[in-house]
């Protein structure tokens, strides 16, 4: 069919007519229709998506770039599915309202059942290894629960191969997602240990099991609850501040530590002044401030390169760096390798650069 | 000529203010670009798709002459809309801010034998950066016509009136091979292997277009092969003639100027704007003309702001015109018959030997920045 149609019709034209018949039919683009939505907590909604056959699926703990059209502009953000892969191929995204967040406001406030979103391929290494026995500690804060929930559900579905501890920090009881399901699992399954920490509610303990009010993840607290940290593999996910402190507390003491942060790290501004950045493909040369991420600096000049997550994990903004030295704002590592791929959202220029943009 | 005499040479300070006023207009317009423009370009996509489908469907009934005529006209209309208001403008990146991969300037491929890739180089880069600079802008006569007296005359140009007509009929093919540099190969400056390498993507695009319009759709019509084939040929020719006429009116009217390479020396922003103004001409008319010409009827605004959605040019034009008037600059516009008449005259006149007229100057400060009327 595709081979037959190929000389007659371009993919865009095929998609135009196919979408008149079925809004998720496409030549090659992974599209998904919202088939249900339900409130998950205060300010959080779960969207159930039915992808078309071009979506290649995901593994629990991974992220997917989700694209929606907002006021004529296609906006892309990363979300972790909270369900586990099943025969119906559905994807559940739990979206938390971010103050001033363009995508979360749109997904929570404006999308309806029947709307279509575009999906990217799933990515990320915070997944279960093939032999997931041993002891595991998952540290989640805010929407950091989303990949963890998929991991917990996958663990439960696989009949609990090892010991699993989940420490989930939220601001208030009302903002906890999946609380009932998690408590039920903890009550039923002795090898699942649950700690729900509420940072903004310091009133007396009101009887909800596994919940601590006014609690905060620190070294002493963790030492008490998870005394054998050195025997654990730790996954952490949440805002940058949370992930930083999790890394300080557990990074060196755990058997293995892997973290993913949501918000971009603060800029390391030790290089004042500007650099000359040549954009080879568009034939432009710009003076950019060295202290900023290249993406932000380019956008301030009216150049809008492709990008997605803006935090260095989705690779959408990656472009060829032909020459020059850059610094990764996440790690502080400098890179002087020519002809390498560069993610401009998390790298700043340390020298004049030539980019394949 | 007469109108060009109105052009007052500007000082550097005046040029800076001239540029600043146009930059301010640009910023005001950029701030407005959004949802409305997105919906507009999607409507254009819709119009392209529906007219193409209707045209092709009617051509399948092409044994019935009125259906053949209407089908051919609709298919030609679809191709014109697709090439001009959609393709040309999208390839400029005017809608890149939408982040829509189907409307992305770097990846859009249009319904014409030339590749978008070559167009991005010859048009977006060379023509728009070096507009009307002799030796840098290949669009000056497209390397085959003598439009300006500054181009060297050769006896071959005596056949130019005939050649111009053939070029118009085959315009898409001329655009397709513009960047293949056959001339360099003929002169022995490029190897056959290099030529084949440069031609490969063009060849693939040509094959695809030929198979689509002249093999696949006619075959699909079965016994009505011939009416579909002829309808497709005529639709492509109609598109060629229309685009040729619009594009030639943009830079080859009587008062348009060309420039020596020396204008690039320390060219300021204001100077760049002025060069775009002096090298371009508009076509006056209504909304239909603007849409059908891909808003190249606003060639002046397009050259000043090539990356802004073209539908915004109509609202910018009166402001640009008013700014030009205050700085004593001719705003070159006229009806389609008037502008194209001037183009035809240039083609006829410069097929014969001709000499450059007096030199007009862009600025009072830099005598080397001379332009020739």
Q: What is the pLDDT of residue B324?
A: 97
Q: What is the pLDDT of residue B267?
A: 83
pLDDT of A145 strictly over 50: yes
Q: Are strands A192-198 and A347-349 parallel, antiparallel or unpaired?
A: unpaired
Lowest-confidence segment of B5-9, B131-135, B306-310 by average pLDDT:
B5-9
* Token output for A97: 């309202």
Q: What is the pLDDT of residue B368?
A: 45
List pLDDT tens digits, range B91-105: 888 887 887 889 987
Q: Report CB contact under 8 Å: A72, B208.
A: no
Q: Write out chain B residues lying below 8 Å of A65, CB-based.
A: none
Q: Write out chain A residues lying below 8 Å of B112, CB-based.
A: none
Residues with Cβ within 8 Å of A174's Cβ and at least 6 positions away in sequence, in order, are: A41, A42
Q: What is the pLDDT of residue A266?
A: 41
Nearest CA in chain A to B42: A72
pLDDT over 70, % of chain B: 95
Q: Write out chain B residues lying below 8 Å of A13, CB-based.
A: 49
Confidence of residue A267 (pLDDT cuts 50, 70, 90): very low
Q: What is the pLDDT of residue B107?
A: 81
Q: What is the pLDDT of residue B234?
A: 98
Q: Write out chain A residues lying below 8 Å of B49, CB-based.
A: 13, 16-17
Across the strands, what pairs with A340? A321
Instruction: Please state the CATH superfamily assignment of the domain spanning residues A2-123 in this structure.
Output: Translation factors (2.40.30.10)
Q: Write out chain B residues lying below 8 Å of A75, CB-based.
A: 99
A306 touches chain B (CB under 8 A): yes
Contact A325, A260 (CB under 8 A): no
A16 touches chain B (CB under 8 A): yes
Q: Report CB contact under 8 Å: A72, B49.
A: no
Residue of B101, B103, B107, B125 to mutate when probing chain A, most A C-beta within 10 A: B101
Helix (H) or strand (E) holding A284: strand A284-289
Cα–Cα distance list, B119 to A177, A213, B88, B179, B199 (Å): 52, 64, 9, 8, 14
Identify the CA nearest to A141 among candidates A105, A176, A181, A99: A176
Number of domains in chain B: 1
List pLDDT tens digits, range B239-289: 999 999 999 999 999 999 999 998 888 888 899 899 999 999 999 999 999
Query: Measured between CB atoms, which of B99, B101, B208 is closest to A7?
Result: B208
Please tell me the distance in Å from B249's CA to the nearest CA on chain A: 27
Confidence of residue A89 (pLDDT cuts 50, 70, 90): very high
Confidence of residue A265 (pLDDT cuts 50, 70, 90): very low
Please give the average per-residue pLDDT across B312-332, as a whole number: 97
Q: Report CB contact under 8 Å: A71, B34.
A: yes
Q: Write out chain A residues lying below 8 Å of B86, CB-based.
A: none
* Token output for B367: 């005598």
Is B339 exposed, middle or buried (CB count within 10 Å of its CB: 0-12, 13-18, 19+)? buried
Q: What is the pLDDT of residue A203?
A: 63
Nearest CA in chain B to A11: B102
Q: Report CB contact under 8 Å: A72, B98.
A: yes
A 65-124: CB under 8 A from B: 67, 69, 71-76
Nearest CA in chain B to A304: B97
Query: Measured between CB atoms, which of A7, A16, A302 is closest to B49?
Result: A16
Contact A65, A77 (CB under 8 A): yes
List pLDDT tens digits, range B199-210: 899 999 999 999
Q: What is the pLDDT of residue A16?
A: 94
Q: Report CB contact under 8 Å: B102, A12.
A: yes
Query: Measured between CB atoms, which of B35, B53, B109 is closest to A71?
Result: B35
Q: Write out chain B residues lying below 8 Å of A69, CB-based.
A: 100
B58 vs B130: CA distance, rounded Å: 44
The ranges assigned to domains in chain A are 2-123, 135-261, 274-355
- DSSP readout, A187-231? HH-TTEEEEEEESS--SPP-S-TTEEET----HHHHHHH-TTGGG
- End-to-end CA, chain B: 7
Parent domain of B354: 3-372
Confidence of residue A328 (pLDDT cuts 50, 70, 90): confident
**Torsion angle defined by CA atoms of residues A257, A259, A264 and A268, in that order, rounded to the nearest 10 degrees:** 10
Q: What is the pLDDT of residue B191?
A: 85
Query: Measured between CB atoms, which of B97, B125, B129 is closest to A73?
Result: B97
Confidence of residue A313 (pLDDT cuts 50, 70, 90): low
Cα–Cα distance list, B276 to A227, B242, B255, B259, B304 (Å): 73, 23, 13, 11, 6
List pLDDT tens digits, range A96-108: 998 888 899 999 9
Residue with tokens 């998690």: A182
B130 vs B149: CA distance, rounded Å: 19
Residue of A5, A6, A7, A27 to mutate when probing chain B, most B C-beta within 10 A: A7
Torsion angles phi and psi, residue A317, rounded to 5: -85, 0
pLDDT of B122 strictly over 90: no
Alpha-helical runs (H) found in chain B: 12-32, 35-60, 65-81, 89-91, 116-119, 128-129, 160-169, 171-177, 182-186, 192-210, 217-220, 225-251, 269-278, 287-292, 299-304, 313-326, 336-349
Q: Write out chain B residues lying below 8 Å of A72, CB-based.
A: 34-39, 98
pLDDT of A138 strictly over 50: yes
Confidence of residue B6 (pLDDT cuts 50, 70, 90): confident
Identify the CA nearest to A236 among candidates A167, A139, A127: A139
Please tell me the distance in Å from A11's CA to the nearest CA on chain B: 9
pLDDT of B1 strictly over 60: no
Please give the average per-residue pLDDT across B12-22, as a whole number: 95
Q: What is the pLDDT of residue B148?
A: 94
Q: What is the distance of C-alpha B80 from the center of its chain?
A: 12
pLDDT of B119 strictly over 80: yes
pLDDT of A257 strictly over 60: yes
Q: Write out chain B residues lying below 8 Å of A281, CB-based.
A: 106
Q: Are strands A353-355 and A274-279 parallel, antiparallel or unpaired?
A: parallel
Chain A to chain B, count of Cβ pairs less than 8 Å apart? 47
Average pLDDT along chain A: 87
Residue of A72, A307, A320 to mutate when probing chain B, most B C-beta within 10 A: A72
A207 vs A196: CA distance, rounded Å: 12
A186 vs B266: CA distance, rounded Å: 73
Give the residue, B121 or A87, on which the prediction is more confident.
A87
Query: Measured between CB atoms, which of B36, B49, B98 is closest to A13?
Result: B49
Q: Report CB contact under 8 Å: B99, A76.
A: yes
Torsion angles phi and psi, residue A119, rounded to 5: -115, 150
A220 touches chain B (CB under 8 A): no
Query: Measured between CB atoms, which of A7, A17, A281 is closest to B216?
Result: A7
Q: Write out chain B residues lying below 8 Å of A71, CB-based.
A: 34-35, 38
* Token output for B195: 């030529």
Work out the angle at residue A355's Cα, subtended by the Cα atoms of residues A352 and A357, and round it to the nearest 5 degrees.
140
Nearest CA in chain B to A316: B99
pLDDT of B4 strictly over 60: no
Residue of B31, B99, B204 to mutate when probing chain A, most A C-beta within 10 A: B99
Please tell me the distance in Å from A8's CA to the nearest CA on chain B: 5
A121 vs A152: CA distance, rounded Å: 22
Q: What is the pLDDT of residue A100?
A: 82
Please tell me the distance in Å from B208's CA to the nearest CA on chain A: 6
Q: Report CB contact under 8 Å: A72, B39.
A: yes
Please tell me the distance in Å from B27's CA to the nearest CA on chain A: 11
Q: Write out chain A residues lying below 8 Å of B40, CB-based.
A: none
List pLDDT tens digits, range A341-352: 788 988 999 888
Give the residue, B361 or A216, on which the prediction is more confident.
A216
List pLDDT tens digits, range B41-57: 999 999 999 999 999 99
Q: What is the pLDDT of residue B118?
A: 83
Lowest-confidence segment of A82-96, A151-165, B235-249 by average pLDDT:
A151-165
- DSSP readout, B239-264? HHHHHHHHHHHHH-STT--BB-GGGG
Query: Measured between CB atoms, which of B39, B99, B208 is closest to A74?
Result: B99
List pLDDT tens digits, range B218-227: 999 999 999 9
Nearest CA in chain B to A306: B99
Nearest CA in chain A to B128: A283
* Token output for B121: 């180089």
Q: Write out chain A residues lying below 8 Å of B216, CB-based.
A: 7-8
Nearest CA in chain B to A118: B100
Average pLDDT along chain B: 90
Topology (CATH level 3) of domain A135-261: Rossmann fold (3.40.50)
């Amino acid at each position: 069919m595709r081979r037959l149609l190929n000389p007659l019709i371009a993919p865009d034209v095929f998609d135009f007519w196919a979408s008149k018949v079925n809004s998720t039919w496409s030549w090659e683009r992974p599209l998904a229709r919202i088939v249900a939505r339900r409130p998950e907590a205060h300010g959080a909604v779960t969207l159930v998506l039915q992808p078309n056959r071009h979506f290649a699926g995901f593994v629990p703990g991974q992220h997917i770039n989700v694209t929606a059209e907002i006021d004529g502009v296609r906006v892309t953000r990363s979300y972790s599915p909270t369900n586990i892969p099943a025969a119906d191929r559905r994807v559940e995204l739990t979206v938390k309202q971010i103050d001033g967040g363009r995508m979360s406001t749109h997904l929570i406030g404006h999308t309806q059942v029947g709307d279509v979103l575009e999906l990217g391929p799933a990515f990320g290494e915070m997944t279960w290894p093939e032999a997931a026995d041993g002891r595991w500690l998952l540290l989640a804060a805010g929407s950091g629960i989303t990949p963890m929930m998929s991991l917990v559900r996958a663990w439960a579905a696989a009949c609990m191969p090892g010991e699993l501890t989940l420490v989930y920090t939220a601001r208030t009881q009302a903002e906890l997602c999946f609380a009932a399901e998690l408590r039920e699992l903890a009550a039923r399954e002795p090898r699942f240990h649950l700690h729900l920490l509420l940072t903004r509610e310091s009133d007396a303990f009101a009887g909800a099991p596994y919940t601590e009010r006014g609690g905060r993840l620190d070294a002493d607290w963790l030492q008490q609850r998870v005394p054998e940290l050195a025997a654990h593999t730790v996954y952490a996910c949440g805002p940058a501040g949370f992930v930083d402190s999790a890394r300080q507390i557990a990074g060196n003491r755990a058997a293995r530590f892997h973290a993913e942060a949501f918000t971009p790290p603060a800029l390391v501004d030790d290089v004042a002044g500007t650099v000359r950045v040549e954009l080879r493909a568009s034939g432009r040369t710009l003076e950019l401030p060295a202290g900023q991420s290249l993406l932000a600096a380019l956008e301030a000049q009216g150049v809008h390169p492709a990008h997605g997550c803006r935090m260095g994990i989705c690779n959408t903004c990656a472009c060829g760096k032909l020459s020059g030295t850059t610094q990764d704002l996440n790690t502080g590592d400098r890179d002087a390798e020519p002809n390498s791929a560069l993610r401009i959202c998390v790298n700043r220029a340390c020298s004049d650069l030539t980019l394949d943009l | 000529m007469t109108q060009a005499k109105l052009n007052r040479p500007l000082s550097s300070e005046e040029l800076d203010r001239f540029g600043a006023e146009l930059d301010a207009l640009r910023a005001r317009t950029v701030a407005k670009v959004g949802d409305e423009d997105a919906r507009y370009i999607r409507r254009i996509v819709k119009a392209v798709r529906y007219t193409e489908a209707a045209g092709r469907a009617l051509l399948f009934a092409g044994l019935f002459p009125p259906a053949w005529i209407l089908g051919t006209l609709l298919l030609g209309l679809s191709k014109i809309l697709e090439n001009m208001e959609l393709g040309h403008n999208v390839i400029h990146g005017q809608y890149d801010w939408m982040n829509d991969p189907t409307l992305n300037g770097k990846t859009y491929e249009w319904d014409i034998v030339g590749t978008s890739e070559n167009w991005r180089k010859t048009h977006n880069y060379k023509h728009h950066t070096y507009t009307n600079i002799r030796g840098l802008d290949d669009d000056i006569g497209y390397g085959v016509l003598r439009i300006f007296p500054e181009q060297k005359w050769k006896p071959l140009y005596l056949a130019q009136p005939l050649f111009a007509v053939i070029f118009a009929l085959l315009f898409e093919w001329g655009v397709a091979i513009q960047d293949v540099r056959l001339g360099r190969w003929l002169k022995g400056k490029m190897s056959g292997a290099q030529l084949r390498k440069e031609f490969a993507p063009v060849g693939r695009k040509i094959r695809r277009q030929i198979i689509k319009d002249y093999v696949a759709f006619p075959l699909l019509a079965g016994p009505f092969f011939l009416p579909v084939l002829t309808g497709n040929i005529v639709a492509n020719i109609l598109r060629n003639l229309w685009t040729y006429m619009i594009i030639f009116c943009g830079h080859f009217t009587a008062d348009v100027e060309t420039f020596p390479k020396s204008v690039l020396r320390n060219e300021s922003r204001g100077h760049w704007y002025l060069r775009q103004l002096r090298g371009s001409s508009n076509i006056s008319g209504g909304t239909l003309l603007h849409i059908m010409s891909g808003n190249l009827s606003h060639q002046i605004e397009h050259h000043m702001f090539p990356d802004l959605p073209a539908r915004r040019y109509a609202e910018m034009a009166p402001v640009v015109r008013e700014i030009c008037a205050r700085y004593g600059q001719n705003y070159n516009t006229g009806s389609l018959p008037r502008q194209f008449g001037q183009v035809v005259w240039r083609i006829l006149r410069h097929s014969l030997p001709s000499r450059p007229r007096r030199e007009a100057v862009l600025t009072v400060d830099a005598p080397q920045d001379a332009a020739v009327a």
